[in-house]
Structure formats: structure tokens, C-alpha cells
């Protein structure tokens, strides 16, 4: 809103400092500061209200050290994160940008699903919350919507770099030349469903390749189906992965803030024609605006950490965890980095994998030997280390260090091919 207001006023009046709103770096900086301050300011009031209404977490005794001390801690704290993200984005982002619109819809939609889940747990005293099928259905609806918009919207395109060509001149000699960045900027935008494969030189993967048994001219007719399925699967996977990670104080919020910062960098380089050309990556017009949203996301996550670090004053609940995971998934898809998610979201991936392995191995051994066995003392993985007697703050700190290592590795993929 401020973006449009200042832009409008600048057309008639020369407002001191008004032109700063033309710069993505300024608006991103303001977004992170604003969302951080909003989270800090409203956090104490929301926590106070949640305590007054006795909206506390009901914890099942799993035999974990210090677990029952968290009984009654206010939940639904994801409201703090969502509010900070939305207000900051609406103030400083160009909300007519299609990428910003998609991210705002994602935030609101998953926030509502998570809120309903928490509401059922707290007020209906149903520990299971929203039925798993209903939750997945909500994620599928969002995935279909996002996949369809990406496929159909004319403003979601990539601008391919013009390759080196050779030309013949009158004396028969041949010369090679490269087009300048200015000519690259004037090249035609292309509507396609390509993404990036990390660590490979010719690293563009088109979802059409998955329909290899069809003729090339027929693939485009059906590729949207494959793409929508992939978007829905990624969205549900990352969103639920963040939900599983939200088991220790500060773990999900801290991990999400690291991932959000890296996604902001990807959006910046992908939306800058010069940097995209230099790094030999896809140039995605208009995607740079997502840096403002990423900044708001990081600021809100860090602001929430103020109240969520050990011992937590509030839990984010599904209201926060489903939303954070969904935003990360959709953001990665929009910047064409979804294949990188197992590396960038390594903590989410490992936590989810630990649950899958635990359940699969238990069922297998029970069927074969009549008695189920376990790989880990308890899953998700962070509970395994708790069972081994490791203090919760140490587990969180070490998980965040691992998240930082994988975040740096994700950045390195821009150059290593």
C-alpha cells in the first residue's frame, strides 16, 4: 500500500526520500524490520490473550525429559507470524505482482487450514485435530490452484538467454559473437514449465520430459497435468515436513528463517537480468518482487523466535507450521528451485524421512517376526536425541547449524555445475 501511495504522490510532488521506494533493496529492508517489530509488538498481547482464554497446548506424556513442563503453553502462535508477514508485505510490496498475489493467497489459505486444526484441538478437545484427509484436501486444492495459475498466467514466464551464434560475412569468413546483456533483456519471454537441476551444467529440466513416450508436439497438451501433480506433492510434502519439525522450542521457526533468507537470495538473482546472466541461471521477469515477501517472512520468523525460544512462551501450532512449510514450497516452485528443496529443506526432509522409515520398519518387522522393531528410539528424529538424554536447547542449536550448512550448500549450487 505504501508502495502505491508513495509512487502516486511522487507523480505530483517531489517527496523527500520518496524515490527510495523504487529500490527493491530499500523495500526489502523495511519489510524485514517492520515484520520483526510487528511480531515483537503484537506477540506479547496475543500471548496474553491466549493465556486469558486458556488456549494452551495439551501434551501427551511420551516420557521425554522436561516435556510435561510445557503443558498449557499457549498455542496458535502462528497468528503472530501470519499477521507480521501480511501487514509488512501489504505495506512494502507491489501487490499487483502475480508472484506476490500467489504467496499471499498461500499464506492465508494454509493459515486458515492450520487455524481450524488448532481450533478443533483446543476448543473441541480433540487431540487429532482436523481430519488428515481434510487437511490433505485443502493442500490439494491449493496445489491445483497454484499449478493452474503458473501454467496459464501470461506474466509467469522465463526469459531465455540468447546463445552464441555464428554469422557469415561477405568475404566468406566466419566470426562468433555473443549477444550483449541489453539484447538479452529484449529477447522474447517464453511460457514453459522448466525448473532447475542443481549441480549440472545444462541444468534446466522441463516437466515435458516426464511424458517421454508421447510425441514432442503432444507433450504440451498434457504437461500441465504432470506439473499440477508435482506442485501439489511438493506443497503437501514440505508443509507437512515443517509440521513434523515443529516439536522443539525454536526449531521450526529458526529453520524456516534460514530457508527464507536463501529463497530471498534466489528470488533476487533470478529477477535480476545481469546477475542471472552472470550466474548462467534462468531469468524470471517480475520475480524480484518476491524478495520483499521473503524479507517479511524472515523478519516474522525471527520475531516469533523471541517468544518461541527455550523455554517457549508460545507455540506456533499448525497455524504456523503448515503455513511456513507451504510458503517455502510455493516460493521454491515460483523461483524454479523445487528440485533443490531436499537440500535447502534438509531438516524438514530428514525429520519426515525418519518418521517414514520408523513406521515402515515397524510394520515390516511386525509382519515378518510378529513383533515390531524400531530404528530410532522415537520419531521424528529430534525426539530420538531427546530420548538419548540430550538437552533440548542443544538439539535445536545443532539442528540449526546443520540447516545453515545445507543453506550454504544451496547457495553454492548457483556456481557448482
Per DSSP, the residues of 102-159 read HHHHHHHHHHHHHHHHHHHHHHS--TT-S-HHHHHHHHHHHHHHHHHHHHH-TT--BB
Contact 190, 160 (CB under 8 A): yes
Contact 368, 374 (CB under 8 A): no
Measure the CA–CA gap between 236 and 249, rounded to whole angstroms: 23
Phi/psi-derived region of residue 199, left when phi > 0, alpha when psi is between -120 and 50, beta in every other case: left
Residue 202 grid coordinates: 545444462
Kindly state the DSSP code that residue 165 receives in the 8-state scheme.
E
Query: Domain locations in the chain?
Result: 2-160+190-412
Confidence (pLDDT) at 165: 45
Measure the CA–CA gap between 114 and 319, rounded to whole angstroms: 4
Measure the CA–CA gap between 249 and 392, rounded to whole angstroms: 8
Confidence (pLDDT) at 343: 95
Rounded to the nearest 10 degrees, how much is the dihedral formed by the CA atoms of 170, 171, 174, 178? -50
User: Beta partners for 167?
Assistant: 175
Residue 234 grid coordinates: 511438493
Confidence (pLDDT) at 64: 66
Which mean pLDDT values do the consecutive 10-residue runs of the chain (417 residues) have? 75 74 90 96 92 71 63 87 96 94 97 92 80 91 95 87 46 43 55 86 84 83 91 95 92 96 96 88 92 97 94 91 96 95 95 94 91 90 91 94 96 87
Q: Report residue 93: phi and psi, to 5°.
A: -95, 160
Of 106, 196, 205, give the one whose Cα is nearest residue 146: 106
Residue 29 grid coordinates: 529492508
Of 69, 236, 58, give the one whose Cα is nearest residue 147: 236
Beta strand 165-168 with 174-177 is: antiparallel
Kindly state the DSSP code that residue 74 receives in the 8-state scheme.
B
Sign of CA dihedral 295, 297, 298, 304: positive
Sign of CA dihedral 389, 395, 399, 401: negative
Reported pTM? 0.90
Amino acid at each position: 500500500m505504501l508502495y502505491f501511495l508513495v509512487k502516486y504522490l511522487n507523480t505530483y510532488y517531489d517527496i523527500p526520500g520518496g524515490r527510495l521506494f523504487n529500490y527493491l533493496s530499500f523495500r526489502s529492508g523495511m519489510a524485514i524490520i517492520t515484520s520483526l517489530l510487528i511480531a515483537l509488538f503484537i506477540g506479547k498481547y496475543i500471548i496474553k490473550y491466549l493465556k486469558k482464554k486458556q488456549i494452551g497446548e495439551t501434551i501427551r506424556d511420551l516420557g521425554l525429559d522436561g516435556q510435561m513442563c510445557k503443558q498449557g503453553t499457549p498455542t496458535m502462535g502462528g497468528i503472530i507470524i501470519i499477521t507480521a508477514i501480511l501487514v509488512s508485505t501489504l505495506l512494502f510490496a507491489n501487490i499487483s505482482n502475480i508472484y506476490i498475489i500467489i504467496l499471499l493467497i498461500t499464506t492465508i489459505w494454509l493459515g486458515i487450514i492450520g487455524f481450524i486444526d488448532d481450533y478443533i484441538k483446543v476448543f473441541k478437545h480433540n487431540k487429532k485435530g482436523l481430519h488428515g484427509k481434510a487437511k490433505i484436501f485443502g493442500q490439494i486444492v491449493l496445489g491445483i490452484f497454484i499449478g493452474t495459475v503458473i501454467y496459464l498466467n501470461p506474466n509467469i514466464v522465463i526469459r531465455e538467454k540468447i546463445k552464441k551464434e555464428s554469422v557469415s560475412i561477405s568475404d566468406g569468413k566466419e566470426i562468433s559473437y555473443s549477444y550483449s546483456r541489453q539484447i538479452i533483456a529484449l529477447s522474447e519471454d517464453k511460457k514453459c514449465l522448466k525448473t532447475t537441476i542443481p549441480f549440472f551444467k545444462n541444468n534446466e529440466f522441463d516437466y515435458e520430459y516426464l511424458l517421454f513416450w508421447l510425441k514432442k508436439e503432444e507433450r504440451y497438451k498434457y504437461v500441465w497435468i504432470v506439473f499440477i501433480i508435482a506442485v501439489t506433492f511438493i506443497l503437501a510434502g514440505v508443509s507437512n515436513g515443517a509440521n513434523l519439525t515443529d516439536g522443539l522450542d525454536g526449531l521450526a521457526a529458526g529453520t524456516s528463517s534460514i530457508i527464507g533468507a536463501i529463497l530471498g537470495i534466489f528470488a533476487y538473482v533470478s529477477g535480476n537480468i545481469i546477475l542471472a546472466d552472470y550466474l548462467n541461471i534462468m531469468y524470471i521477469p517480475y520475480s524480484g518482487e518476491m524478495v520483499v515477501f521473503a524479507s517479511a517472512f524472515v523478519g516474522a520468523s525471527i520475531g516469533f523466535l523471541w517468544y518461541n525460544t527455550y523455554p517457549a512462551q508460545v507455540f506456533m501450532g499448525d497455524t504456523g507450521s503448515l503455513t511456513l512449510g507451504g510458503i517455502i514450497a510455493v516460493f521454491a516452485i515460483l523461483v524454479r528451485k523445487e528440485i533443490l528443496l531436499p537440500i535447502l529443506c534438509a531438516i524438514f526432509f530428514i525429520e519426515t524421512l525418519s518418521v517414514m522409515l520408523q513406521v515402515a520398519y515397524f510394520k515390516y518387522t511386525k509382519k515378518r517376526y510378529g513383533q515390531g522393531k524400531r530404528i530410532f528410539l522415537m520419531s521424528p528424529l529430534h525426539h530420538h536425541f531427546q530420548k538419548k538424554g540430550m538437552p533440548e536447547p542443544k538439539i535445536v542449536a545443532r539442528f540449526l547449524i546443520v540447516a545453515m550448512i545445507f543453506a550454504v550448500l544451496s547457495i553454492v549450487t548457483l556456481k557448482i555445475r
